[in-house]
Amino acid sequence: MDYDAFDALLHHIFKQTQGDAWFKPSEENVHAGVCLRVDNGRFRVFPYENRYLEPFEAAVRVLNPVVAVKIRSAAIHAALSAVKEDQDAIFVDGDTRIQILDTMTWLPRADKEQCGAFIRDERVLVVWSYNLDNIIPTCRDFEDKLIKLVWNQRSAFTSLASSTVASSAQTSASDVNLTEKATEVVNEKEVEAYHTAKERVQPTKEVA
């Protein structure tokens, strides 16, 4: 196969945005790829001849950016796992909101200015740009923000879990103390009742 400048760009962008997918191909990351506009209405996708990327290419054709990248990573999967089913966006930080679309077929209707969208059913992130030079920095920026987001969520969850465990321990200790006090009261009453009953049944002395 003869490669041209577009192929070189596709290979480079894929390598710079896909992490381990470039070095360790697997069944999971076959869904990741890059779609580059080579002419008006003409796009080229890498990896080549990958049927899993056909819906991605079709959606990008309608969206019509210069380049789009489909990314699958642990951070993306974790971020989507933490949202509700009806949630339509994730605020990855105070200034960055990334929309959530149910399927790839909704990508052409995405807010183009956001330059990114989560695809819920595939657990992937699609990032696009109308300037070729911006695509790699944008992908890295999104990935860095997602890592911080999921780490902060993990820290918040850990703190909540610790508080819950501590509260449960205190409640259990209180229950034990109440049980011990109740047992002491019952025992005192039993002893008193025993002595009272004993006095009543003592035999009376007969007078000679």
The DSSP letter of residue 1 is -
The whole-number pLDDT of residue 4 equals 93
pLDDT at 179: 54
Phi, psi values for residue 128, rounded to 5°: -135, 165
pLDDT in tens, 173-190: 555 555 555 555 455 555
50 in Cβ contact with 33 (< 8 Å): yes
* CATH class belonging to 5-158: alpha beta
pLDDT of residue 95: 87
Burial of 123 (0-12, 13-18, 19+ CB in 10 A): middle
Report the pLDDT value the prediction gives residue 195, as an integer from 0 to 100. 57
**Mean predicted confidence (pLDDT) in 39-44:** 94
3 state DSSP class of 67: strand
Whole-prediction pTM value?
Answer: 0.72
What is the average pLDDT across 43-69? 96
> Helix, strand, or coil here: 82?
coil
Q: 153 vs 34, which has greater pLDDT?
A: 34
Give yes or no for residue 154 having a pLDDT over 60: yes
Question: Percent helix, strand, coil in the chain (nearest 5)?
Answer: 55, 15, 25
Q: How confident is the model at residue 198 (pLDDT cuts 50, 70, 90)?
A: low
Q: Rounded distance, CA 1 to CA 123, Å? A: 33
Q: Which residue has the higher pLDDT, 74 or 204?
A: 74
Are 93 and 116 within 8 A, CB to CB? no
Long-range contacts of 92-100 (CB under 8 A, 24+ apart): 92/142, 92/145, 92/146, 92/148, 92/149, 93/145, 93/148, 93/149, 96/142, 96/145, 98/125, 98/142
Cα separation, 107 vs 98, in Å, equals 13
∠ CA 65-57-141, nearest 5°, is 55
Q: pLDDT, tens digit, for every residue of 88-122?
A: 999 988 889 999 999 999 999 999 999 999 999 99
**pLDDT greater at residue 4 or residue 24:** 4
Give the pLDDT confidence score for residue 160 in this predicted structure: 47
- Proportion of the chain above pLDDT 70, given as a percent: 68
